[in-house]
Structure 1
Amino acid sequence: MTLLGPVRGTRRIHAINPVAKLTASLLLSVLLLVTIDWVSAAVALVLESILFLWAGLAPRAFFRRTAALWIAAPLAGVTTILYGVPAGQTYLQFGLIHVSDGSIALAVATVLRILAIGLPAVVLFATVDPTDLADGLAQVWHLPSRFVLGALAGIRLVGLFLDDWRQLELARRARGLGDSGRIRRFLNQAFALLVISLRRGSKLATAMEARGFGGDTVRTWARPSPFGGREWLLIAIGAVIGATALTAAVLAGTFRFVIG
């Protein structure tokens, strides 16, 4: 199992239609973006943490896949503390830096909200196979087949980036170019990866067009994409978590509409 590859398993979460996972994640995100207080984000994060136990991810895999969020959330919080909107008592003021009660509260809300929105999205999509997602988008949401197939091809190519990067590293070391100048090495490898990606994407687009994937013909799909009770249950769980979080914020008196 690679970091970008789907997690295989036999739990119920693995059998749920990917479109339902996408819908639940989007619905929860929209509800949590209505307000920017810390109470709603904290309540949502607590409820989500309980459900993570049934997500089909081992603790090590969970933290590996969500590592970027655990790094980005505190960094966003620090930035908000230093440069957030000043309100209440001021603790530090130096140039553009203004640490106050308002900036601290906003920073806490920002950190919790990033985790509350990002963690369930990563966990849900960790069990999604790109082909199953494409089947669902075409059969459940009835999106154009050209868009679905193009998106599927793009997602498949993303998984090759890590392999290409490793191959570039090995090639440079074999030529004695990989032991010094980390910044320069990174820039050179990034440019080489960009060139490889553009070439591969161009060849893939030509091949797909030659095979008729760009036509307007109504297509059939080899694998059915069922959408039933368990999918609606997952969407309902996402809606309930979001509604509960907003209700808690209103009752606590911390609800703060994002606009205004």
Structure 2
Amino acid sequence: MSAAVADTAPRRTWPDTVNPVTGFVAAVLYTIPMLTTIDAVSAAVALVSWLILFAVAGIGPRTIIRRSWPLFIAAPVSAISMLLYAAPGGQVYAQFLLAVISDNSIELALAIGLRVLAVGVPTLVALGGIDPTRLADALGQVARLPARFVLGALAGVRLFGVLGEDWRQLALARRARGLGDDGRIRRAFSLAFSLLVIALRRGEGLATAMEARGFGVGERTWARPSSLGRADLVLVLVALAVAAVSIGAGIASGSYRLLGA
């Protein structure tokens, strides 16, 4: 029985074993320097580097797409808007009203599209698989945040997944009463208000239950220890190295373009 459970359990990749607080720190240390420039070379080098590192860490394309699929919509949208409405420069290829396609807009569109992926994909892949309970343990023990805040946030995250089922049950209940055939907009507002009432009542009940059990009173102990290890240091160093190599490649190629310059 235990072997069957182990076989069906989801496979944990290397980033999923790193302390969640380290993941956020590494994301900040990597993102800040990457947002100081707006060139295509550094973004492309960073994106390719992360894809190689993910492959080495055992993260397949399916996991990458599942965790970061919104970026594959946001990146083209950002690139197209920059292509049409960026400040013209160099040769102008097309113009219609306020939209101007020029050498500068093409360069910026490519840089923006790649940068959205270069910054967003590694962040979402690394942080998208974090278990809320592990995150709460890390925030309470490593980041030393107040236990009342940590446990309240954990409870909120846990209950957030229930909202979809509540919405479905409310819709079925209204339809059973003959109230589900009115306009979509009116029905959506009515369901949203009912869902808000349910969420507030559930939150009040949860707060009362947690208060009755002594949550947030005195010093709290933790059932699952959360600590930092060698893997956390490796992740931070890798994030800094990718950012440094990417920006260095942009400077070496002569395409480095400081944001706002």
TM-score, normalised by the number of residues in structure 2: 0.83
| C-alpha deviation, 1:183, in angstroms | 5.0
The equivalent of 1:230 in structure 2 is 231
| C-alpha deviation, 1:54, in angstroms | 4.6
The number of equivalent residue pairs is 253
Contact 1:8/1:14 (<8 A) preserved: no
> Residue 91 of structure 1 aligns to a residue in which SS?
strand
Q: Distance in 1 between the 2:147 and 2:98 partners?
A: 50
> Residue 99 of structure 1 aligns to a residue in which SS?
strand
The equivalent of 1:41 in structure 2 is 43
Contact 2:64/2:121 (<8 A) preserved: no
> Residue 95 of structure 2 aligns to a residue in which SS?
strand
| C-alpha deviation, 1:57, in angstroms | 4.8
Contact 2:13/2:59 (<8 A) preserved: no
Q: CA RMSD, aligned part only?
A: 2.6
Q: 1:86 to 1:131 in 2, by over 3 A?
A: same
Q: Distance in 2 between the 1:78 and 1:97 partners?
A: 11
Q: Distance in 2 between the 1:55 and 1:235 partners?
A: 15
Contact 1:82/1:97 (<8 A) preserved: yes
Contact 1:18/1:136 (<8 A) preserved: yes
The equivalent of 1:254 in structure 2 is 255
1:15 to 14, 17, 22: 17
Q: 1:56 to 1:146 in 2, by over 3 A?
A: farther
The equivalent of 1:3 in structure 2 is none
| C-alpha deviation, 1:66, in angstroms | 1.9
Q: Which runs of 5+ in 2 are unaligned?
A: 1-8
Q: Distance in 2 between the 1:90 and 1:182 partners?
A: 46
The equivalent of 2:221 in structure 1 is 220
The equivalent of 2:92 in structure 1 is 90
> Residue 48 of structure 1 aligns to a residue in which SS?
helix
> Residue 115 of structure 1 aligns to a residue in which SS?
helix
**Within 5 Å, which residues of 2 pair with 1:113-152?**
113-152=115-154
One-letter amino acid of the counterpart of residue 154, structure 2: L
Q: Distance in 2 between the 1:180 and 1:56 partners?
A: 50
Q: 1:138 to 1:189 in 2, by over 3 A?
A: same
Query: Could you report, residue by residue, the CA deviation over 1:78-106 in whole angstroms, capped at 9, with x for unpaired residues?
Result: 12222222222223333332322222222
Q: 1:179 to 1:249 in 2, by over 3 A?
A: farther
Query: Could you report, residue by residue, the CA deviation over 1:107-148 in whole angstroms, capped at 9, with x for unpaired residues?
Result: 221111111111112211233111111111222222222222
One-letter amino acid of the counterpart of residue 141, structure 1: A
1:68 to 58, 67, 70: 70
Deviates more, 1:242-251 or 1:30-39: 30-39
One-letter amino acid of the counterpart of residue 244, structure 1: V
| C-alpha deviation, 1:41, in angstroms | 0.9
Query: Could you report, residue by residue, the CA deviation over 1:136-172 in whole angstroms, capped at 9, with x for unpaired residues?
Result: 1222222222222222222222222333334345445
Q: Which runs of 5+ in 1 are unaligned?
A: 1-6
Contact 1:168/1:189 (<8 A) preserved: yes
Deviates more, 1:75-84 or 1:163-172: 163-172
Q: 1:58 to 1:255 in 2, by over 3 A?
A: closer
Give the greater-gyration-radius structure (CA).
2
Tell whether 2:245 aligns with 1:244: yes
Contact 1:44/1:241 (<8 A) preserved: yes
One-letter amino acid of the counterpart of residue 198, structure 1: L
Q: Distance in 2 between the 1:179 and 1:50 partners?
A: 52
Q: 1:199 to 1:54 in 2, by over 3 A?
A: farther
One-letter amino acid of the counterpart of residue 21, structure 2: V
